[in-house]
Structure 1
Amino acid sequence: MREEESMIQQLKEWLREGDFAKVRKELEPLRSADIADCMLEMEPKEVLLVFSILPKELSAEVFSHFSASEKKHLVEAFTDEETLDLLLHMQMDDRVDLLEELPANLVNRLLSLTEPSLRQEINMYLGYDEESAGGVMTSEFVAIRKDLTITEALETFRTSSYARVSSNELFVTDECWTLEGVVSLKTLLLSPTEAKVAEVMDGHYVSTTTSTDQEAVAKLFMKYDLRAMPVTDNDQRLVGVITVDDVMDVVVQEQTEDMQKMAAMTPSELPYLEQNIWSLSKHRIGWLMILMVTATITGGIISSYEDVLSQTVALAIFIPMLMDTGGNAGAQSSTLLIRSIALGQVEFKDFFKVLWKELRVGLLCGLVLALLNTIRILMISDAPLAVAIVVNISIVATVVFSKVLGGILPILSDKVGLDPAMMTGPLITTVVDACALLIYFALASLLL
């Protein structure tokens, strides 16, 4: 950390002295992500200077590591010539990501600077759903025809302008760009030079279409351990490629959204520190209002059993513990099942397996908690024996119910097309609290 701070101070000093050659020599060997980290510690004027000093291709790579708000400020500060250079040296998927993050006035400005052919291609990508395979794919890939010889195929790769950014897998098409198979560079290098590509390609490939949801694409990458995946249109023509680095961004985005939904918040793509208090409040207040209103159900249950509470005041002491235990038990199961569904490990066909497993887990956990609670009551509480029995039976019943509900609710939500994270997180606590009180007071009325 100290070495990094020392280097940043040295870079700033060279920039003040106008010794740009030393700045370039120091930064060029670094990875683009590390250069971006260094630039984040600089003043805006210094950042602009560094962008003008670095090679154009490296500048474009560094730019892709900045956040949306930082990109916006930089584009506003760049001249038209600098902006055009940046766009031309960016990969297509990074260009599209940039334009999707910027306000409309800046998008129009950037598009007006580009050639009509490039503008048309960018507009085509912008037409895809942002969360679909078409929205995350890139058009910068190397494709070879199946009727070429190995020598011709290797020459096609060498002379391609996309060879530098291409993955190890090359996609094979016919003369109409219909996807036929995939072949690795290693296979081409080790095959006889006079052989045809069709003879060495793998016709068993994994592909997707432009309309496929990005989360489904990420699952395919994980299932088949892919580094790149071809994307076709409805006529099986190759139109783009999704690489593993794009999928990593998708996975992080989907995980972030799920965490926010499970915490009863509307998802936001902006980093926390870049949101003002109004934006943060807007994303939180909706579910807070809903949960506050639904919480009146628990209040209604308590008021309807006032006569039971008035006769045995000791019952009130255990209400918070019982509600918290039920909520925590349900949250454990729902979190585990939501993650399992996201990873494709659990499907609707596993409904009864999950039900039976959570039923037994809930019973085991409930009995252990009841035993621990019995020891606690005997040691530090003077509650009547009848109350202790009611509380312990309620704990077992509540934990079993919470575990089962937390296990099956995500599966049912996913089956009907609802987001399990959105439906499960906010609902578990409210439903479990209400049911825990009903179980508790019903047993109290029956036994006391």
Structure 2
Amino acid sequence: MNQLTKEAEEFRGKHVADIVQKLNELSSEAAAFIVARLPIDVAAEVFDHSSLDEPQDILASLDASRAAAILDAMAADRLAYLFRDMEEPPREQLLALLTSEARSVVDSLLTHPEGSAGSLMTTEFVSVPSNWTIGETLKHVREVEGARETIYAIYVIDPTTRRLEKSVSLRRLISGDLHAPVGSVARYDAPITVLPQADREEVAHLISEYDLLAIPVVDEKRHVLGIVTVDDVIDAMIEASTEDAQKFGGMEALDEPYPDIGFLTMLKKRAGWLAVLFLSEMLTASAMQHFEDELERAVVLTLFIPLIMSSGGNSGSQATSLIIRALALGELRLKDWWRVALREAPTGAALGSFLGVIGMARIAIWQEAGIFDYGPHWFLIALTVGLALVAIVTFGSLAGSMLPFALKRLGFDPASASAPFVATLVDVSGLVIYFSVALLVLQGTLL
């Protein structure tokens, strides 16, 4: 342990993020050895850091009194987050180390659904009665700043009803008259608030829209339950975007970092979606079997199946990506689906026409240059490909843009409209459209 003792000494004065990075490289026992030699306030910051791997294992390896001191010094929101995903037996053992007050706060925060404002908030904020002066408020801020998540926003409360009246920034507070009422320096009459059931996307949108460092979470009577700080929102949105990216790739979201996922867990996360997509792709084979006679009479049509299918799938995936992002940022609502449809239909038609011209030009060039002979009806084949691309890309754009709306309306996460799922949907419909166009154009010639 001599080397670890030396490293523990070297950690003093270093940034918490650097300490966390080093601890993540060590075993739980070795990490606990170093944590035990850090000052309590620094150790608490380490466990408050969202990047720390397996915090419950490190805490379980510490002396009970040391673990209790660290837990007591942690921010309430991070403490609740720690216990939310913790498994037994460490969970019950560590809960027993909490003070009755801390356990009450954690239990209260854990009642809120994961990803909601209530689950993200901390109860460690600065609030003062509206009948206080600025001088009294500044004195109070100096006294409690070490025990609060942030002191950059002070919430002014009615001393009788306990309702939130105003929000005052520390910057405006320190520039005000010490004898003036604290509410006199509030920039706005009514602060921006959210209810505890609001989702993290809504919280992130409001913080970004109104350039806030924190947003108060209130109940129906405007009593302040806690606050969500901008750093908590960033952590939550990084986690959410990671889950969305994994879902969009056609798999379940991973609960742990990629290097820590076991082989069997990885199979479980990926096999389900792959099986669903595989079964869906069987519809493609069914569609081709339905047009078996046409394929036998015009084998040349098979040359363009990959081109047709990929173009429709790509256009659908593009539209899906744009709509999912717009829904997540609050740029679109469910009621906007018709606006999106009216926009995507001509956009898809224009993009399909663009690709159709390229496809027809490619066939003409190959035919005239002698690279490949498409037969005496090559122009009709080129026309079939061109018209099919217009129809398929238009359909792909419409289907890809409407699917997230449909999923959200049914109560599912729009991110579940993964790129492989959209591509599979458009593959099947694309084949039907392609051969239907071919029957119309090539009737009486190749078909």
Equivalent of residue 71 in structure 2, options 75, 87, 91: 87
Deviation at 1:70, TM superposition (A): 2.2
Equivalent of residue 197 in structure 1, options 174, 177, 182: 182
Equivalent of residue 275 in structure 1, options 248, 261, 272: 261
SS at the partner of 2:326? helix
Quick one: distance in 2 between partners of 1:106 and 1:234? 36
Deviation at 1:44, TM superposition (A): 4.8
Spell out the pairing of 1:20-59 with structure 2 (5 A cutoff).
Answer: 23-24=8-9, 26-42=10-26, 44-59=28-43
SS at the partner of 1:160? helix
SS at the partner of 2:389? helix
Residue 164 of structure 2 corresponds to residue 179 of structure 1: yes
Deviation at 1:337, TM superposition (A): 1.2
Counterpart of 1:107 in structure 2 is 91
Counterpart of 2:206 in structure 1 is 220
Deviation at 1:164, TM superposition (A): 5.7
Equivalent of residue 123 in structure 1, options 95, 99, 107: 107
Counterpart of 2:431 in structure 1 is 437
Identity %: 32
Counterpart of 2:374 in structure 1 is 383
Which whole-Å deviations, capped at 9, do the CAs of 1:120-174 have from their partners, x for residues lacking one? 2221122222221111111111111111011111111111254663231111112
Deviation at 1:344, TM superposition (A): 1.3
Counterpart of 2:445 in structure 1 is none
Which whole-Å deviations, capped at 9, do the CAs of 1:385-412 have from their partners, x for residues lacking one? 1222212211121111111222233234
Counterpart of 1:209 in structure 2 is 195
Which whole-Å deviations, capped at 9, do the CAs of 1:306-337 have from their partners, x for residues lacking one? 11111111111111221111111110111111
Deviation at 1:296, TM superposition (A): 2.1
Quick one: distance in 2 between partners of 1:193 and 1:16? 53
Deviates more, 1:283-292 or 1:227-236: 283-292
Cα 1:240–1:358 change in 2 (3 A) is: same
Which whole-Å deviations, capped at 9, do the CAs of 1:193-236 have from their partners, x for residues lacking one? 21112333332211112222222212221222211011112322
Counterpart of 1:146 in structure 2 is 130
4+ residue segments displaced more than 6 Å: none
SS at the partner of 1:131? coil
- Asked whether the equivalents of residues 157 and 163 of structure 1 are also in contact (C-alpha less than 8 Å), the reply is no
- Asked whether the equivalents of residues 360 and 386 of structure 2 are also in contact (C-alpha less than 8 Å), the reply is yes
Deviates more, 1:87-96 or 1:27-36: 27-36
Give the TM-score taking structure 2 as reference length.
0.90
Partner amino acid for 2:107? N
Cα 1:163–1:349 change in 2 (3 A) is: same
Cα 1:333–1:112 change in 2 (3 A) is: same
- Asked whether the equivalents of residues 24 and 53 of structure 2 are also in contact (C-alpha less than 8 Å), the reply is no
Cα 1:111–1:163 change in 2 (3 A) is: closer
Cα 1:275–1:164 change in 2 (3 A) is: same
Cα 1:68–1:275 change in 2 (3 A) is: farther
- Asked whether the equivalents of residues 4 and 30 of structure 2 are also in contact (C-alpha less than 8 Å), the reply is no
Counterpart of 1:137 in structure 2 is 121
Quick one: distance in 2 between partners of 1:29 and 1:237? 39
- Asked whether the equivalents of residues 68 and 102 of structure 1 are also in contact (C-alpha less than 8 Å), the reply is no
As a proportion of its length, which structure holds more helix? 1
Cα 1:225–1:161 change in 2 (3 A) is: closer
SS at the partner of 2:36? helix
Quick one: distance in 2 between partners of 1:120 and 1:203? 33
Deviation at 1:279, TM superposition (A): 1.3
Deviation at 1:424, TM superposition (A): 5.5
- Asked whether the equivalents of residues 358 and 407 of structure 1 are also in contact (C-alpha less than 8 Å), the reply is yes
Deviation at 1:39, TM superposition (A): 2.9
Equivalent of residue 78 in structure 1, options 62, 67, 77: 62
Counterpart of 1:6 in structure 2 is none
Counterpart of 2:302 in structure 1 is 316
Quick one: distance in 2 between partners of 1:67 and 1:192? 42
- Asked whether the equivalents of residues 410 and 424 of structure 1 are also in contact (C-alpha less than 8 Å), the reply is no
SS at the partner of 1:53? coil
Partner amino acid for 1:233? D
Cα 1:68–1:48 change in 2 (3 A) is: closer
Quick one: distance in 2 between partners of 1:312 and 1:99? 64
